[in-house]
A and B are shown apart, each in its own frame.
Chain A
């Protein structure tokens, strides 16, 4: 400690005596890095929110490659007359439809006027615009068009409202996705067009919504915050700092440090070739906010020392010496916290975290190198109010806290507990349109559109017939029609676009418009002819590639729904998927896709991965603190003021908002660093008082308040002010983030002032003067540890309880098959068997393991099993005991014969290889029904045996598989084959079972299980011999003591 102090002191002395060298060197380095800002790219494409290997994005890209793209702008026209079908309004819609073709990247425009209406004329099919000359429509034409439009499912609730008071013009765009300005260009042109039409036809009102406008709103609100809020925030920060520090030059110093940190970081990002997006563009704000703390701590102490009579330079040296450890620690913990944002499934959040971590590191370096150099050349003076004693307010606060420690501790624990109890009432949900508040045009227009015309959220299903031209087959069309009908019956569904509607109409048209033929064609060739005729008659740009793919093997169903939360939206998607599985042949099964579906799924996953990341960060930070403060006790104690603020803030959030979405889920990770800062500064000062000054615990608390209370108050106040300003954002991503962060930081300060002292006094009791130093050594008192770990456990449990337990839609038949298979294997009691494993690599080199296994059936829980190795010789006698459980982790013990040691091991390694083989732990462990959800796929014969094919989806997120396809024979429900699909959903391994033999007249066991890894070419064969059933094993044969004698 003293050695480190000495080194820091020497460094500080050198800096203040050579300020110009340091200033020049840091400026050159930072400005060189900062020059990279010019290289910085920016993207507005919402696809960046998804990782490269996100399966939803991959599925979506596939659909987009087949059909016309689905980026769109919807122009919503409201005539003052309240009637779309009057001549004036139709004129406006006609111009709008015409003008919309001029929007950049537009590839298709749909409206009531250019709707391709088909009708019969003698034996011919006539396809033409519904209103052929919108500039001067006749009364008869208008009446006809109105009648047609309002009875067409293709149009109603999409481009025409049911009572014909609002109409829409839907523009489909194909953005090349190369230039971030594409979105702005298209949105800008649409706005100009809308304004021009409103200008030309003052009696109509044009509103803009649609996916491209949503994208545009994302980008614009980022820019808008950048232009207005963020400058305001900085001014606020500056004012708060000036007021609280009461020193002009100190404020200048702090501003220089934070500005250089931000410039340097963004420059580095530029040199690294990173692209910013609306989320990672927040990095400068984060850095500017966070970097303030380091400088303030250095400056507050310097000013304090100067007030006590030190000259400027020695005050700076002393301040660095005193603050170095705390600043290092807080920087490390902040960096850890922000890096944990990389656990998010969404790359922009990870990038934001990484950028901020870089910025915080730069701020640390600048605060200890650049700042003292700068301050030693500036005419820094201690503020005039030096007559008053050192921060008397905080001395008084310290006195108060020591006097009322128990009352404060109890009160703060009770308040925190009550608020944390609210935490589970948060719902994980997102409404994308609600990312923008009501003051934004996009939100107003979208809300209006949902109320009057159609929805913004869409989901797409690409439904495959399995063969070229298959969409014309009557069976396919019937199923498609039934699916369309089912969707339309869903109350939330506003509009469904489906090929079956087109087919019905064509059938009628080609039977001389006889309404009796408004049904699906019964003959495949007929359907094919209709489609061909129809296609030939469609003008350029209005082809049917938005519905049907080129070789006519699949069609796209597009479902538009009203305004709903992401969880209800996903439920609908899952119900639709299940409907297809229940009612359609296998080729027609489809997964819902589209941007709205993708965002809903990623937001759900994101919340879950952030919780894991945050917990890990807490663990790492506790470890860092334990090591650095050299006290296990204090390290564990620090968990309480570190974890409680986030947990309590989420409790407050439950009361205020109650909805945790994409943005809010990162707040815990984001604020960890800041929250930890406070407790670190308090704890280090407390420990200095105890260890160096030999003070009693109450005196040490008073000392901590006196020396660091003021700096903590200033940094917290400044940060709360900054985040409170960000909370004003009209963009929910920023607004919620700002609000919750402000709440968390405020709570953290209260926890450090009112709860932590009480805890310290409770735990760090004196045991007589003689033992003061001994009790300061890192002592483990078990009671303390239990206390703090149990608090931590409660908190962690509370966090997990906040996770939504959304029951996956179980596919009944798949489950029934699995249950039946399970039922048939019930009652085997126990069995033993010998096993050889032959491991082969792709060069056919073999390696052999032999082992014995025994399994004991349990009535209400998973089986118990014991595996003992015999070969290779060096692991002879090694044994693995497993108690599997229906839900949750298994219990597992490993016996190492050389050491005679029984070791309880973690069983969460589901996906790792078992003894180097191609079998993962989860493949060989006992299979419990609850570990998967099921979906029946089809019946099929395999090698002449009729089989059930069932897909099963692991419920454990640690599984290495997205799904497994299983083949069971229909006679005996024995497994014959399993295909394993990896986390990227590509085929990883195939397992085949052969040589089944029946035991006790009931239980089937295979002689051989052969696993082939398709990705590595390796394989493993298990040969089972000497099966013996019901040999009388009991629980006594499966415990830690018998591991040693098992063989």
Chain B
């Protein structure tokens, strides 16, 4: 942990430790889950255990809030995947139309489903899931003000989290291992560069619009060859992002677009798509949602992301039963190269506390040069049993 992170943490604990008003209206709540998980690849099986305890304390009238969420995984195959992270550890004070939060936390920006271009505050915990939806906790001081003309968030982000990568024995990695011990930075401050960000968002009738700016360490590393391994290099970047959703009847129209300047170039990328839901098909209570998104990146094949001219099609089935059963299936493909990646995910509750989840992911690299080709033999199924508290 860097000194700056420690300062933020100390500040957080100090603020949280301030004598709370004596009124006994404060509340404490423990929660979280433990899970046993099995990933099966061609050739490997990867059992692991997960725990994510969380704690929340709320002061009288909910004016003060303290939240703590820890995450830990023990993995039998990959040492890099055996890791722990403080997902949340923050104090928040709010005055109805404003909110101040200090500590480690997570925020989400954006509207699309297939990738999250504008979402740049938290680093991806890539060893968790190749979809990049899992994020590492980010130290931050966040101030929010809620106005008639929209919601404004201002962020100070001291301290940077490195992306996690699968280790030598792990799956879902390229032919070369990424050695996170060789990480270098463009900024002389290394991982202590103070990043800043701001976002304005507002609702106009059927439109939800967000505009965000970010200046600081790029969350996406360049992977530079260094002998037989790859060394992550994090440069500085400036990014402006826009996210827009129109919610018209059963249709959701979505657009995310960014313009980013990093150490090499300035480029534009966008995701646009729509979601349509058939509610209660054939007089049942099952909803079927259809999703189509187009992913584009001006850099084309030079992009670090595989999604430069790709389509995502997917469908979400919500059974609306007491077990909240859902099935999600989707595929991202690039018509030009033929590369594609598929996903089927099913989830339901058993009793009041148990969740069973199954997931199938397939990869098919069209040409050797498509980033997906690197993991083309990493098709796998995942089975997870969770106990929630």
Seen from chain A, the residues whose Cβ lies within 8 Å of a Cβ on chain B are: 619, 623, 626-627, 630, 632, 777-780, 782, 785, 839, 841, 847-848, 871-876, 889, 891, 899-909, 911-913, 915-917, 958, 960, 1034, 1036-1037, 1039-1042, 1045, 1047
Min CB–CB distance A780 → chain B (angstroms): 5
Partner of B249, one of A779, A785, A889: A889
CB-defined contacts of B251 to chain A, threshold 8 Å = 619, 906
Partner of B252, one of A619, A630, A876, A904: A904
Min CB–CB distance B159 → chain A (angstroms): 19
A1033 closest partner in B (C-beta)? B96
Given the known A-B contacts A872-B388, A874-B388, are A913 and B270 also in contact in the complex, defined by CB atoms under 8 Å?
Answer: no
Residues facing A in B96-110 (CB within 8 A) are: 96-97, 99, 106-108
In the complex, B280 has a CB within 8 A of chain A: yes
Given the known A-B contacts A780-B272, A906-B277, A912-B287, are A1040 and B324 also in contact in the complex, defined by CB atoms under 8 Å?
Answer: no
A872 CA / B322 CA spacing, docked (Å): 10
A903 CA / B276 CA spacing, docked (Å): 15
B290 closest partner in A (C-beta)? A623
6 pairs of A and B residues whose beta carbons are closest in the complex: A873-B388, A847-B322, A909-B279, A901-B108, A874-B388, A916-B322
Q: Which of B43-51, B162-170, B230-238, B349-357 contacts A (4 or more CB under 8 A)?
A: B349-357
Given the known A-B contacts A847-B352, A900-B108, A908-B249, are A1040 and B311 also in contact in the complex, defined by CB atoms under 8 Å?
Answer: no
A632 touches B144 (CB 8 A): no
Given the known A-B contacts A782-B257, A847-B352, A874-B33, are A1037 and B108 also in contact in the complex, defined by CB atoms under 8 Å?
Answer: no
B352 touches A1040 (CB 8 A): no
CB-defined contacts of A871 to chain B, threshold 8 Å = 352
B148 closest partner in A (C-beta)? A1035
Min CB–CB distance A692 → chain B (angstroms): 15
In the complex, B285 has a CB within 8 A of chain A: yes
A626 CA / B31 CA spacing, docked (Å): 46
B257 touches A916 (CB 8 A): no
Residues facing A in B245-288 (CB within 8 A) are: 245, 247, 249-252, 255, 257, 270, 272, 276-277, 279-280, 285, 287
B347 closest partner in A (C-beta)? A874
Given the known A-B contacts A873-B389, A904-B245, are A623 and B292 also in contact in the complex, defined by CB atoms under 8 Å?
Answer: yes
In the complex, B65 has a CB within 8 A of chain A: yes
Partner of A911, one of B151, B279, B349: B279
A872 CA / B324 CA spacing, docked (Å): 10
In the complex, B192 has a CB within 8 A of chain A: no
B247 touches A873 (CB 8 A): no
B355 touches A874 (CB 8 A): yes
A848 CA / B31 CA spacing, docked (Å): 18
A847 CA / B279 CA spacing, docked (Å): 23
Interface centre among A777, A780, A906, A913 (most CB of B within 10 A): A906
Min CB–CB distance B322 → chain A (angstroms): 4
A780 CA / B280 CA spacing, docked (Å): 34
Min CB–CB distance A854 → chain B (angstroms): 12
In the complex, B220 has a CB within 8 A of chain A: no
B287 touches A873 (CB 8 A): no
CB-defined contacts of A904 to chain B, threshold 8 Å = 111, 203, 208, 245, 247, 252
Given the known A-B contacts A780-B270, A900-B108, A916-B321, are A1040 and B201 also in contact in the complex, defined by CB atoms under 8 Å?
Answer: yes
A917 CA / B107 CA spacing, docked (Å): 31
A619 CA / B275 CA spacing, docked (Å): 12
A870 closest partner in B (C-beta)? B29
Min CB–CB distance B243 → chain A (angstroms): 11
CB-defined contacts of B292 to chain A, threshold 8 Å = 623
25 pairs, A vs B, C-beta closer than 8 Å: A777-B296, A777-B300, A778-B294, A779-B296, A780-B270, A871-B352, A872-B388, A873-B389, A874-B33, A874-B386, A876-B31, A876-B388, A891-B203, A903-B111, A909-B277, A909-B280, A911-B280, A912-B280, A916-B321, A917-B322, A1039-B146, A1041-B99, A1041-B146, A1045-B94, A1047-B62
Min CB–CB distance A359 → chain B (angstroms): 27
Residues facing A in B126-168 (CB within 8 A) are: 133, 144, 146, 151
B252 touches A906 (CB 8 A): yes
A50 CA / B295 CA spacing, docked (Å): 45
In the complex, B195 has a CB within 8 A of chain A: no
Partner of A632, one of B96, B107, B294, B300: B294
A777 CA / B294 CA spacing, docked (Å): 12
In the complex, B323 has a CB within 8 A of chain A: yes
Interface size classification for chain B? 35 or more
A865 CA / B306 CA spacing, docked (Å): 42
New A-B contacts (6) at CB < 8 Å, excluding given A902-B108, A904-B252, A916-B320: A874-B353, A874-B355, A903-B111, A904-B111, A908-B249, A909-B279
A197 CA / B349 CA spacing, docked (Å): 79
A623 closest partner in B (C-beta)? B292
Seen from chain B, the residues whose Cβ lies within 8 Å of a Cβ on chain A are: 31, 33, 58, 62, 65, 92, 94, 96-97, 99, 106-108, 111, 133, 144, 146, 151, 201, 203, 208, 245, 247, 249-252, 255, 257, 270, 272, 276-277, 279-280, 285, 287, 292, 294, 296, 300, 309, 311, 320-324, 335, 349, 352-353, 355, 386, 388-389
CB-defined contacts of B97 to chain A, threshold 8 Å = 1036
A13 CA / B324 CA spacing, docked (Å): 54
Given the known A-B contacts A873-B388, A908-B249, are A1041 and B355 also in contact in the complex, defined by CB atoms under 8 Å?
Answer: no
CB-defined contacts of A906 to chain B, threshold 8 Å = 247, 249-252, 277
Min CB–CB distance A374 → chain B (angstroms): 34
Interface centre among B257, B322, B324, B352 (most CB of A within 10 A): B322
A917 CA / B311 CA spacing, docked (Å): 36
Min CB–CB distance B365 → chain A (angstroms): 17
Partner of B296, one of A780, A873, A1047: A780
CB-defined contacts of A901 to chain B, threshold 8 Å = 108
A3 CA / B226 CA spacing, docked (Å): 39
A1036 touches B257 (CB 8 A): no
A899 touches B108 (CB 8 A): yes
Interface centre among A623, A778, A904, A913 (most CB of B within 10 A): A904
Given the known A-B contacts A911-B279, A1039-B146, A1047-B58, are A873 and B352 also in contact in the complex, defined by CB atoms under 8 Å?
Answer: yes
A839 touches B322 (CB 8 A): yes
A1037 CA / B97 CA spacing, docked (Å): 8
Min CB–CB distance A901 → chain B (angstroms): 4
A847 CA / B97 CA spacing, docked (Å): 37
CB-defined contacts of B58 to chain A, threshold 8 Å = 1047
CB-defined contacts of A960 to chain B, threshold 8 Å = 280
Min CB–CB distance A632 → chain B (angstroms): 6
Given the known A-B contacts A780-B270, A1037-B96, A1047-B58, are A908 and B106 also in contact in the complex, defined by CB atoms under 8 Å?
Answer: no
B294 touches A1045 (CB 8 A): no
B320 touches A913 (CB 8 A): yes
Given the known A-B contacts A847-B322, A873-B389, A909-B277, are A1036 and B285 also in contact in the complex, defined by CB atoms under 8 Å?
Answer: no
Interface centre among A839, A958, A1040 (most CB of B within 10 A): A1040
CB-defined contacts of A873 to chain B, threshold 8 Å = 31, 33, 352-353, 388-389
B133 touches A899 (CB 8 A): yes
CB-defined contacts of A1042 to chain B, threshold 8 Å = 146
CB-defined contacts of A847 to chain B, threshold 8 Å = 322-323, 352
CB-defined contacts of B323 to chain A, threshold 8 Å = 847, 916
CB-defined contacts of B277 to chain A, threshold 8 Å = 906, 909
A891 CA / B285 CA spacing, docked (Å): 22
B311 touches A627 (CB 8 A): yes
A899 CA / B108 CA spacing, docked (Å): 7
CB-defined contacts of B311 to chain A, threshold 8 Å = 627
A905 touches B247 (CB 8 A): yes
Min CB–CB distance A824 → chain B (angstroms): 30
A992 CA / B111 CA spacing, docked (Å): 40
CB-defined contacts of A917 to chain B, threshold 8 Å = 322
CB-defined contacts of A780 to chain B, threshold 8 Å = 255, 257, 270, 272, 294, 296
B133 touches A1045 (CB 8 A): no
A623 CA / B65 CA spacing, docked (Å): 47
Partner of A900, one of B96, B107, B320: B107
CB-defined contacts of A908 to chain B, threshold 8 Å = 249-250, 279
A628 closest partner in B (C-beta)? B335
